[in-house]
Amino acid sequence: MSLREIDAGRAAEGAAARRPRWFVTLFLTDIWERFSFYGMQAILVLYAAAPRAEGGLGLPKSTAAMVFGVYVGSVFVLALPGGWLGDRVLGERRAVTWGGVTIAAGHFTMALPVADAAYAGLVLIAVGTGLLKPNMLALLSRSFPPGDTARREAAVSLFYVSIQLSALAAPLVTGLVGERYDWHWGFGVAGVGMVLGVAQFAAGRRHFGTLGAAPPQPLAPDERRIALRRAGVVLVVITALVTADVAAGTFSPLHFAGVFALVTLTVPFWYVRVLLRDRSWSPAERGRLRAFTGLLLSFSLFWMLVSQSGSLLNLFVRDSTDRDVAGFTVPAGWFQSAIPLFMLLTAPLFAVLWVRLGDRLTIPAKFALGLAFAAASFLLMGGVALAAGDGRVPVLWVVAVFFLQACGEVVIGPVAISTSAVVAPDAFVGRTIGLVWLFSALGAGLGAQVVHLADVLSAPVYYFAVASLAGLAALAVVLGGGAARRAFAGAGD
């Protein structure tokens, strides 16, 4: 069903200028889902690293950062099967509903004052987000007729704003509640946000008509049997491994983190191979995909650095910065609002810059620039850590680090998504966008492993080393950008 069919008979000329009710339903659902996601994320590493006597998990800093990175990477990876379930089994509306319910269950599981319940809660939140997010975007996209590109892009832009507003507001709430009162209350507040999102989505379902009620490409009976059989095999294998682990007396919830880390590090390359083997791609399109994969490796390195803003940098804010303002100690989680704030402020400036530069700034150059911003942020962070020593530094220095990372994300995020739309045949655009998510997961997974170097290196050396790696990678993208430019020549014309 198209947008015209959904809105038919509702209003005439005056109402045409207003956003339809189905859009308002999706927009508010997204705001509440992102509120719950970023609210929990702002305090996750602080809770994981807090001593058990203070209600935390008592994990070493690097282990707490690893849990954070694996969780973020898992959310991206699980969007792939989540999108498949909505497309082939559930339909987008049921996928969004059940995804939201699963997320809320995960938050309330983390709200229980039981240490190991946090791991189960993280798994539920990751699974629910992987189910909800791609299907909500699919529902939004399919609500517009194929030729209505302008309104579709405008709607996606509004969703982008909703994400940043939620990311800005949520840490202020959960950071105060979690750090000042009780960690579990903070997770509970995030859960309430998701419940509100699910409730208003359920109340607004009637505005969609039949859109998203059934899977657009339902499985045939034989395909369903094969899918169930494979899912059963996976479940049996997982159950057997956990049982063996428990029987050996070595079981730890952190073992799941290791498994998810392995998945985030391997699935992106497997998926590239799957796409390249599809005969629907022309030789030129395969060349663009290979060039795009090379650029996405730099995208992964970018996320390897920026994903640490919520883990190691968050812990640095807590332990090594002066957060006292007129006798009030600012919660460390509040500073997780810095990046979305700076993104909202700088996005219009970069948009104007891209228009003025036009084709003079190529796609590879934008990838390199985004990665260079991330490298500069870690270079500055190395200097900040050196200045801190065993004491504390003004928190504005870390805010400057977040500013550089925000500039990098404003540069590299949109170009990765927009490039994915010209890489592949029309029927594969959604899957190449999914590839961007998978390489984001790869970056978060890499970050989850790299943080262990912080145990053997001093903080300044760690940040300088990672900054050097990212800087060299940005230089390599610039020097090797000619092949990518040739591969993309004429694409999208």
Retrieve residue 429's tokens: 């655009």
Q: Are 187 and 107 within 8 A, CB to CB?
A: yes
190 lies in the same domain as 304: no
Span of 17-31, 136-150, 247-261, 351-365 with lowest mean pLDDT:
136-150
Q: Using pLDDT thresholds of 50, 70 and 90, give the confidence band for residue 468.
A: very high
DSSP state of 212: T
Do 80 and 202 belong to one domain?
A: yes
The larger pLDDT score, comparing residue 140 to residue 378, is at: 378
How many CA atoms lie within 13 Å of 407's alpha carbon, on the beta-carbon side? 16
Kindly tell me if the per-residue pLDDT of 153 is higher than 70.
no
Inside any domain, residue 427: yes
**Residue 360: band (very low, low, confident or very high) from pLDDT cuts 50, 70, 90:** confident
For 304, counting Cβ atoms within 10 Å of its Cβ (0-12 exposed, 13-18 middle, 19+ buried), the class is buried
Look at residue 208 and tell me if it is in a domain: yes
Question: Which amino acid, residue 430?
Answer: G
20 pLDDT exceeds 80?
no
Burial of 158 (0-12, 13-18, 19+ CB in 10 A): middle
211: which residues sit within 8 A by CB, 6+ positions away?
Answer: 1, 6, 22, 92, 93, 139, 142, 143
The residues, ordered by sequence, that sit 6+ positions from 140 with a Cβ below 8 Å of its Cβ are: 23, 26, 152, 155, 156, 159
Query: Who contacts 206 (Cβ-Cβ below 8 Å, separation ≥6)?
Result: none
Among 170, 202, 218, the domain boundary falls at 218
Final residue in a domain of this structure, among 182, 199, 218: 218
How many structural domains comprise the chain? Answer: 2
Decide: 64 and 319 in contact? Cβ < 8 Å.
no
Average pLDDT of the residues in 470-479:
91
210 and 288: one domain? no
Q: Which of 100-114, 183-197, 348-362 has the lowest mean pLDDT?
A: 348-362
- Quick one: tokens of 261? 């880390």
341-350 residue pLDDT tens: 898 888 888 8
Average per-residue pLDDT for the chain: 81
Residue 168: count other Cβ atoms within 10 Å of its Cβ. Answer: 19
For residues 151 and 164, give the distance between their C-alpha atoms in angstroms, rounded to a whole number.
Answer: 20
Q: How confident is the model at residue 59 (pLDDT cuts 50, 70, 90)?
A: confident
Let me know: does 133 contact 82? Beta carbons within 8 Å. Answer: yes
Residue 8 pLDDT: 39
Angle ∠(50,32,3) on CA atoms, nearest 5: 150
The predicted pLDDT at position 3 comes to 42
Three-state secondary-structure class, residue 219: coil
Helix axes 363-388, 396-423, angle to 10 degrees: 160
Q: Has residue 26 got a pLDDT over 90?
A: no
**Range of weakest confidence among 218-222, 247-251, 310-314:** 247-251
Q: Which of 201, 218, 235 is the last residue of a domain?
A: 218
Most confident of 58-67, 135-144, 236-245, 350-359: 58-67
Length of the chain: 493
Q: How far apart are the first and last CA of the chain?
A: 29
pLDDT tens sequence across 165-179 = 888 888 999 989 988
- Is 240 contained in some domain? no
Predicted pLDDT of residue 467? 95
Q: Which two tokens stand for residue 358?
A: 């036009």
Q: Answer yes or no: do 202 and 350 share one domain.
A: no
Among the ranges given (172-176, 209-213, 276-280, 332-336), the one the predictor scored with the smallest mean pLDDT: 209-213
Query: How large is the average pLDDT for residues 352-369?
Result: 81
Mutual orientation of helices 312-320 and 363-388 as an angle, nearest 10°? 30
Higher pLDDT, 188 or 219: 188
Name the band, by pLDDT with cuts 50, 70 and 90, for residue 159.
Answer: low
pLDDT at 29 over 50: yes
Domain containing 165 equals 18-218
Whether residue 469 lies inside any domain: the answer is yes
pLDDT score, position 474: 92
Give pLDDT, residue 294: 87
Which residue in this structure is represented by tokens 């395969």? Answer: 286
**Element of type H or E holding 324:** strand 324-325
Is the pLDDT assigned to residue 73 strictly greater than 90?
no
Under the banding of pLDDT at 50, 70 and 90, the label for residue 92 is: confident
**Between residues 340 and 142, which one has the greater pLDDT?**
340
Lowest mean pLDDT among 10-19, 381-390, 427-436, 467-476: 10-19
Q: For residue range 420-444, list pLDDT tens digits in order.
A: 767 766 656 666 777 888 898 888 8
Q: What is the pLDDT of residue 11?
A: 37
Closest to 140 (Cα-Cα) out of 154, 155, 125: 155
Clarify whether residues 36 and 162 are in a common domain: yes
- Helices 21-49 & 183-203, crossing angle to 10 degrees? 170
Long-range contacts of 54-61 (CB under 8 A, 24+ apart): 55/113, 55/182, 55/183, 55/184, 56/183, 57/115, 57/118, 60/455, 61/312, 61/315, 61/454
- Torsion angle of the four alpha carbons 38, 42, 45, 47, in this order, in degrees rounded to the nearest 10: -110
Asked if residue 391 and residue 490 are part of one domain, the reply reads yes
* Residues 355, 440 within the same domain: yes
Are 331 and 417 contained in the same domain? yes
Instruction: Return the minimum-mean-pLDDT range out of 1-15, 53-67, 450-464.
Output: 1-15
487 confidence band (pLDDT: 50, 70, 90): low
3-state secondary structure at position 346: helix
Biggest CA–CA distance in the chain, Å, is 70
Residues contacting residue 447 through CB under 8 Å, at least 6 positions apart = 65, 69, 303, 304, 305, 307, 308, 311
- Looking at residue 67, which CATH number applies to its domain? 1.20.1250.20
Within a domain: 430: yes
User: How many of the other CB atoms lie within 10 Å of CB of 445?
Assistant: 31
Q: Are 130 and 149 in contact (CB under 8 A)?
A: no
Q: Specify whether 39 is located in the same domain as 181.
A: yes
> Residue 77 half-sphere exposure, CB side, CA atoms within 13 Å?
25
- Written as one string, the DSSP assignment of 185-196 is HHHHHHHHHHHH
For the cut 80, the answer to whether the pLDDT of residue 306 exceeds it is yes
pLDDT-based confidence at residue 158 (cuts at 50, 70, 90): low
Query: Region 86-91: what's the mean pLDDT?
Result: 81
* Residue 325 φ/ψ, nearest 5 degrees: -130, 110
Q: Are 393 and 324 in contact (CB under 8 A)?
A: no
Q: Which two tokens stand for residue 96?
A: 């969004």
In whole angstroms, give the CA distance from residue 278 to residue 352.
38
pLDDT at position 200 over 50: yes
State residue 370's pLDDT score.
92
For residues 362 and 446, state if they share a domain.
Answer: yes
Average pLDDT over residues 77-84: 83
Mean pLDDT of 220-243: 80
Q: What is the dihedral of CA 380, 385, 388, 392, to 10 degrees?
A: 90
Selection from 164-168, 180-184, 288-292, 479-483 with the highest mean pLDDT: 180-184
From CA 365, how far away is CA 344, in angstroms rounded? 22
